[in-house]
A and B are shown apart, each in its own frame.
Chain A
Amino acid sequence: SQQGEEDPQALSIQEGENATMNCSYKTSINNLQWYRQNSGRGLVHLILIRSNEREKHSGRLRVTLDTSKKSSSLLITASRAADTASYFCALTGNQFYFGTGTSLTVIP
């Protein structure tokens, strides 16, 4: 499958801790995006990293991309209970593929 595969599938941490989610893929990509989804409804775009970039920051988010290993990671620092959601990577190459998602629970 060309879909991104994310791990872990589920992650539970205490508020204030950092959360790291990984996305691995098989095909070549133009860029990779991360999205967040609350309550099984619409997704919200978090950050886009291009294939020629290695790291990108946005607030408490840090995304890395290693095209040689075909993997990306999303780090959320100083997590908050409101960060509880599912997080998906999305690959853009010849088509647009979403990963299987990581369900993050931040315990207050």
Chain B
Amino acid sequence: GAGVSQSPSNKVTEKGKDVELRCDPISGHTALYWYRQRLGQGLEFLIYFQGNSAPDKSGLPSDRFSAERTGESVSTLTIQRTQQEDSAVYLCASSLAGVRGGQYEQYFGPGTRLTVT
């Protein structure tokens, strides 16, 4: 079956512009995660959706970042007024339900490489 898909694969934007990143999880996966990975570094947790529960937004770095998820399907991560430090690869992952998804492996999308000039 299809894996996790993300779009666009690459995005170059000017400082101050808003960007929207999309993630299509694997069908049937109730948990969805967004991560940020700066060049040569580890993954930084941003936000977690689990079914119809309130999302865990504790990893969002500022109020310029927001994310939505429609039911158990597509999610969008929005970054407003982008800054150069927002340049990174943004990874989305989905998994079957569990205690915060931790009992199950996460399936990752290929990521969106965001460059803010």
Contacts and interface: CB of A to CB of B under 8 A. Distances in A.
A17 B35 CA distance: 33
B103 A41 contact: no
Contacts of B48: 95-96
A92 B4 CA distance: 21
B42 A101 contact: yes
A1 B23 CA distance: 28
Interface residues of A, number: 24
A45 B103 CA distance: 13
B49 to A, nearest CB: 12
A81 interface: no
A43 B108 contact: yes
Contact of A100 (B4, B42, B106): B42
Q: How large is the interface on B (under 10, 10 to 19, 20 to 34, 35 or more residues)?
A: 20 to 34
Most buried by A among B35, B56, B105: B105
Dominant SS at the B interface?
mixed
A47 to B, nearest CB: 9
Contacts of A96: 33, 45, 48, 100-102, 106
A90 B91 CA distance: 15
B66 to A, nearest CB: 19
A97 B102 CA distance: 10
For the complex of A and B, 10 pairs with smallest distance between CB atoms: A92-B102, A42-B108, A45-B105, A98-B43, A100-B42, A43-B108, A42-B110, A101-B42, A41-B110, A41-B111
